[in-house]
Structure 1
Amino acid sequence: MSRGKPPGTAGPGPGELLGPAQRLDWLRLIRTENVGPRTFRTLINQFGGAAAALDALPTLARRGGRLVPPRTPTREEAEAEMAALARIGARLVAMGEADYPSALAQLDDAPPLICVRGRGEVLRRPMVGIVGARNASAAGRTFAARLARDLAAAGWVVVSGLARGIDAAAHEASLDGGTVGVFAGGLARPYPPENLKLIEAVADMGAVVSEMPVAWEPRARDFPRRNRLVSGMSLGVVVVEAAERSGSLITARLAAEQGREVFAVPGSPLDPRAGGTNRLIKQGATLVTAAADVIEVLTPMAGQAGPEAIEADGPPIEPAAPGEDARARIVGLLGPVPTFIDDLVRLSGCTAAEVQIVLLELDLAGRLDRPGTGRVALK
């Protein structure tokens, strides 16, 4: 539960972690320039809450080498986004709240806030992703539909990306049992346009989710981010049809990196749409010919406890800034080649807290790249 609630602020509602003022602060912080999910978590941990972190942003960015503070939405802009969500029947759900998917919360880059439209109940149940080719074959769509229908009948929520082909077949077949669609853009910008009727049905009978601002137009680079949420919400991902170097293989790779189970449906060697799935099987993915193959593997994982929620507002913390010598040693160890943070601590002779502060400063200045868990590099 939240602590340190400002006087006169209404408290959280049932199942909520944040009060209204805290929710606005979280939204402003995650929408701040150069603040992603990992940076958000570090800021909360370092400063004890979003309000204190917002106050510290200009100083941190300046120490990282940026002359102009990162752009932070005003309270009025954050309130306008929440009002826009409300107008389309959507809401913000914070990590740790009842409707935040427990599997997603386990990721180190899990979004602290997600925009949700639909039934929160489906987001609390165990999920399995089904993805595949947009130009799917008739056989591929038929199998995806059968798989999704059988999984939904067994109590699983089917997650996919609302795209043409396999995604659409999986969503349509699992509407009655529960399905979740993940947007690459904002919830007010459904995509693709020809799936609008399906998207409305998913929102009505299941839920649609996005981490992006409500009016965000999806760009090509937003779809891999979307794919990480599809796999992150799921205990496992089934790839039905995928050509070599397809977006579905990106989802499979992300699933493996996230510790999720990867399943693949075999296909004819003569069909290029089966090239990616057949290669996944060669690399160790579980071969799937029926929903029972998926259920057998994932059932023992369902119901596992998720991590502790991010503390909404902890005690005030004033992290000490490293001295110039310490900062110079840490920055001097960085370069374009990714380096493990543990190695920075060991080689610099600085404390882990000092290293984290310097990395935070560089991150907010737009000078840091985080190519993978526990690794950083200079841009």
Structure 2
Amino acid sequence: MSDIDRLRLIRTPGIGPITWRQLIARFGDAARALEALPDLARRGGGKAPTPPDPRTIEREMKQVAGLGARYLFLGDPDYPPLLAELENAPPAIIVRGDGALARRPTIAIVGARNASAAACRFARELAHDLAREGAAVVSGLARGIDTAAHMGAGPATIAVIAGGIDVAYPPENAALQERIATEALLIAEMPPGTEPRARHFPHRNRIIAGIAAATVVVEAAPKSGSLITARLAGEAGREVMAVPGSPLDPRAQGCNLLIREGAILVQNAADVLEQVRPIDPRSVRAPGVSFGSAPPADADDAARCAVSGLLGPVPVAVDELVRQSGLVPAVVQIVLLELELAGRLERHAGARVSLI
């Protein structure tokens, strides 16, 4: 299918990764999905979102190429295989550097931005030891633990950033970001020129957790972004590990909490590799990513009423909607898709949905 059509669908307001995947599954390609948007939104009782003009997408693609970057689409052979396993995997990522790194056994190392000197040293040495054993180390290029991990791993590091591929954040890591893009691998989901905002970082975190076989938290306060990454890793069925710290240090509370809740205690690279050695990214399906199959028929008005009647402002699991409505999952998903394209439905973590 056309890269322009795929990007137009991705960049259409209100169409997230799950909706994009469902539209491709239903219509077979992005061009037909774009044509179907008005009718789907009408059925959902709203106005269809407006896809960007093809010329806008062409300008973006030219800009990406001019930066020495390229797109990887979900289903492409070079798309990171473990990331492709996520239900909400990015339909497209923009990369600079050595894409083969993402096919190595990959470990995420994350932690506090205001990390202690001892924690930064540990993260740097852990990353170095993992890289020496043939693993790639992924992190988010933030201050503190992320920076230490990238520096320790050297050319075996993957940086996932919250903004555009051409935007350095934080500014003091501009040289490090460029070095990673040249010698290792830099990944962005947002279009070029996008300044990172608070809402972008959870999306970045899911890529960090999704691309890795395991996530190691070195230092983190409770309710920190690092713990969000650890939670996303656990939800994706990946190993969650943590480095213990002093109970007197608030920066260690998050890690100690993770260990108390069942995370694997990590003291060195051997502890990490012992858990992930059996995982080979090459064994994970990636080139043949399945987008599902189109349901046998559209939802009728009775099905729409049944599903809509079960929805409200409180998020509810999609599985619960299937159970209570008595409809087949494919029909429930069609109704939810129509409502989302009409701007009436919001998706939440854990496959839950609510009315807006």
- After TM superposition, give the deviation of residue 310 of structure 1 in Å: 4.0
Provide the residue aligned with 1:63 in structure 2: 43
SS in 1 for 2:278: helix
Q: Quick check: 1:74 aligned with 2:53?
A: yes
Percent identity over the alignment is 55
8 Å CA contact 2:295, 2:331 repeated in 1: no
Match of 1:172 among 151, 156, 159: 151
Opposite residue 328 of structure 2, the aligned amino acid is T
Question: Aligned equivalents of 1:371 and 1:26: distance in 2?
Answer: 24
Provide the residue aligned with 1:213 in structure 2: 191
Provide the residue aligned with 1:135 in structure 2: 114
**Structure 1 residues 36-68: Cα deviation after superposition (integer angstroms, max 9, x where no partner):** 01001110111111111000011111221223x
Question: Aligned equivalents of 1:111 and 1:216: distance in 2?
Answer: 16
Question: Aligned equivalents of 1:286 and 1:342: distance in 2?
Answer: 31
Q: Which runs of 4+ in 1 moved over 6 A?
A: none
**The 10-residue stretch of structure 1 (123-132 or 148-157) with the greater mean CA deviation from structure 2:** 123-132
Q: Quick check: 1:234 aligned with 2:212?
A: yes
Provide the residue aligned with 2:346 in structure 1: 369
Opposite residue 173 of structure 1, the aligned amino acid is G
Provide the residue aligned with 1:351 in structure 2: 328
Stretches of structure 1 that go unaligned for 5 or more consecutive residues are: 1-17
Match of 2:139 among 148, 154, 160: 160
Q: Quick check: 1:337 aligned with 2:317?
A: no
Match of 1:125 among 100, 104, 108: 104
Question: Aligned equivalents of 1:59 and 1:310: distance in 2?
Answer: 27
Aligned positions of 1:240-279 closer than 5 A: 240-279=218-257
State the number of aligned residues: 355
- After TM superposition, give the deviation of residue 304 of structure 1 in Å: 5.7
Stretches of structure 2 that go unaligned for 5 or more consecutive residues are: none
Provide the residue aligned with 1:149 in structure 2: 128
**The 10-residue stretch of structure 1 (116-125 or 85-94) with the greater mean CA deviation from structure 2:** 116-125
Relative to the length of structure 2, the TM-score reads 0.95
8 Å CA contact 1:130, 1:170 repeated in 2: yes
Match of 1:35 among 12, 15, 29: 15
Question: Aligned equivalents of 1:98 and 1:197: distance in 2?
Answer: 30
Opposite residue 65 of structure 1, the aligned amino acid is G
Provide the residue aligned with 1:299 in structure 2: 277
**Structure 1 residues 189-230: Cα deviation after superposition (integer angstroms, max 9, x where no partner):** 221111001001111111110111122111111111111111
8 Å CA contact 2:44, 2:339 repeated in 1: yes
SS in 2 for 1:301: coil
Q: Quick check: 1:52 aligned with 2:29?
A: no
- After TM superposition, give the deviation of residue 311 of structure 1 in Å: 6.3
Opposite residue 305 of structure 1, the aligned amino acid is S
